[in-house]
Structure 1
């Protein structure tokens, strides 16, 4: 008769997860680093099957899988223990769901930041722009289950009737242009302006960083705040400001230095003290250029930047840099569409935030795998497919678990080699119409809560 204990099963699961998910990410997310943050946060937990480390790995495997149900995650854990001389746990999801609830949000937040920082430290000079790190900022929304708690924390759009919509959260994310990794995150309610999210993200910038963004972030106070951090900004000019070449000092073709003046009235997003503290003027650089690529709706673009050195940062380089701003849209699409973060599954606000951090942590770990594969085999990491990387990782996990310890490294090297086979071709100026070919089902839209529909069906 075999005597089993929970610690034995926990050790087995840790070994399994380390060998499957942990091996590709061993440099950025080893078990020792997770345990270190657990100790720093003074997280207390009892001796359970789903301790914080096992729960975290199961959570990551859940968001990386196509089937993101808790039942599938628990089934995976059960399968890991099936061939061991231990008691197989129950397939009920209650223990795992409670373990995720106990998992502190700070743990996921710090792990996300740690992985992003570790990946950025691997960036060499050849991947920088003019010797500097470029960060790209943008905002988006995510949907979540329609529960009372979620509606209270992240209300649905006001133009939708109660019971007919879903709660939406607004997220602001800063990505690294060199690695494609997410380096900072902010979560707020739907009607939050992008610039408010950005002001909560400036704290994650490092000296000499360049922040790249669209016209929503181009405000006087924000340019001043970014310069105070010893950083620079490249934004598209906001549409409320008039564009003219008559004012300013011309320093090149369609390139001039302009003096901007402090707003006469305190903007809504600033306190009176913050507005008073603003300098009376700042000098910015304004660059005009035209887009003549068929399919692009914008014909004339005006850039505003605090990079005043025309020798080091030529207008052509800045125009090319702003052309790469579109990559942030692709990064958000990877998170929301490729990984499935567009529609979250958790039913409470705290779990929603944890789920978002889990997605970004998994996304950064995939980016780290792409970076390692690309730099190992001489392929630009950003040219690799994130979807292909996820497919290869999920398909190689059973092989990593089944093989002997002597062949694990060989299979791991094979994984890196096949990842670089999925390179995305260069497609400059590519444009696709935003249309759908497949027709939706001919069901009417929900215009009243579901319980009212049921009542009408019963009385009909």
Structure 2
């Protein structure tokens, strides 16, 4: 995941890229990396390489086409970690020439090691295997590339359904950016911006923790809990939590009961247009401080 966050308007800061690892089962955040949107080693793949240490053996890394890269796939295989990604547009796969045919529009392919990228030194490049085997599955809408090459243990439908479930992570991005008002940051220095980002992510995990408690109490699945309800409940009770005059465990039990009463609907295959309903206002955008703008003619009516 790589949501782009914009610091406070009008101050000339660059965009910030944040890559996070989120567990699909509960939505909890496992790790995060922050970098500018421009410069060396600031891309999504570079940030992912920084977080490989947060992945464990036999984990499955689920991502979009940007992470379908030979060196990422090779690194996952060597660490006994699997990956499921949409095929990158730059990769050409001909199912008529696959190494092992597994079915209609499904097969194993052998990928040859590409040329050494600029970010990798020669010693590291020599350690990368010269060839890896991947499995490709073509569905109606996409081609899925995975290191789960055992077709009997990992059926085609299970992998396709797993990739569709990736939409939950997009909803988690929306929770972080929109519901938690993190789309525009307020701090002015890089140090404070990082603190502001990590405080947001800390509170996000706190809300997910409350949802997990509600899951245990009510017997629901974590993805059936409403993030908005949990967030509103925490806001309603945070003054009482800070006061410390009431038993905190009783408050938490009450909060968990309230959160557990609200379930989200089951909406498989939901597709929404990428468009905003609210029209923008015709006012000019403020590109300077208000003190300076009062003296400029372009802002005077």
User: What residue is the counterpart of 2:267 in the other structure?
Assistant: 427
Match for residue 225 of structure 2?
384
1:241 aligns with 2:241: no
CA contact (8 A) 1:336 1:342 kept: yes
Give the Cα separation in 2 of the matches to 1:174 and 1:227.
Answer: 18
| 1:409 Cα deviation from its structure 2 partner | 4.2
Mark the runs of 5 or more structure 1 residues left unpaired by the alignment.
1-137, 147-162, 291-299
Question: Corresponding residue for 2:282?
Answer: 442
- Is 1:289 matched with 2:152? no
Equivalent residue in structure 1 for 2:27, among 148, 170, 180: 180
Which residue of 2 is the match for residue 220 of structure 1? 70
Contact persistence 2:113–2:130 (CA under 8 A): yes
Q: Secondary structure of 1:396's match? A: helix
Q: CA RMSD in A?
A: 2.4
2:7 is the counterpart of 1:141:
no
Q: 1:456 to 1:266 in 2, by over 3 A?
A: same
Any gaps of 5 or more consecutive residues in structure 2? none
Find the aligned partners of 1:409 and 1:283 in 2 and give their Cα distance: 52
2:57 pairs with 1:207: yes
TM-score (normalised: structure 1): 0.60
> Deviation at 1:173?
0.5
Deviations 1:149-196 (A, max 9, x none): xxxxxxxxxxxxxx6754321111110111201101111111332111
Q: Is the 8 A contact 1:145 1:167 kept in 2?
A: no
Q: Name the counterpart of 1:272.
A: 122
Q: Tell me the equivalent position of 2:213.
A: 372
Return the offset for 1:358.
0.9
Q: Check whether the contact 2:240–2:246 (CA below 8 A) recurs between aligned residues.
A: no
Q: Measure, in 2, the Cα distance between the counterparts of 1:413 and 1:329.
A: 30
Residue 394 of structure 1: how far off its partner (Å): 2.0
Q: Check whether the contact 1:164–1:446 (CA below 8 A) recurs between aligned residues.
A: no
Given the alignment, which residue of 197, 202, 205 partners 1:361?
202
Question: In the TM superposition, what is the alpha-carbon distance from 1:202 to its structure 2 partner?
Answer: 1.1
- Name the CA distance, whole Å, in 1 between partners of 2:270 and 2:33: 31
- 1:320-331 maps to which residues of 2 (within 5 A)? 320-331=161-172
User: Computing the radius of gyration over CA atoms, which structure comes out larger, 1 or 2?
Assistant: 1
Q: What SS class does the counterpart of residue 282 from structure 1 fall into?
A: strand
**Aligned pairs (5 A) from 1:303-342:** 303-342=144-183
Cα distance 1:456–1:343, how it changes in 2: closer, same or farther (>3 A)? closer
Q: Which residue of 1 aligns with 2:108?
A: 257
- The equivalent residue for 1:114 is none
Q: How big is the shift at 1:142?
A: 1.2
Q: CA 1:417–1:346 in structure 2 vs 1: closer, same or farther (change >3 Å)?
A: same
Kept after mapping to 1: 8 A contact 2:105/2:137: yes
For the 8 Å contact 1:236–1:301, the answer to whether it is kept is yes
Indicate the larger mover: 432-441 or 249-258: 432-441
Instruction: Say whether the 8 Å CA contact 2:217–2:260 is kept in structure 1.
Output: no
CA drift of 1:427 comes to 0.9
Between the aligned partners of 1:455 and 1:414, the Cα distance in structure 2 is 54
More moved, 380-389 vs 215-224: 380-389
Matched-pair contact (CA < 8 Å) for 1:170–1:190: yes
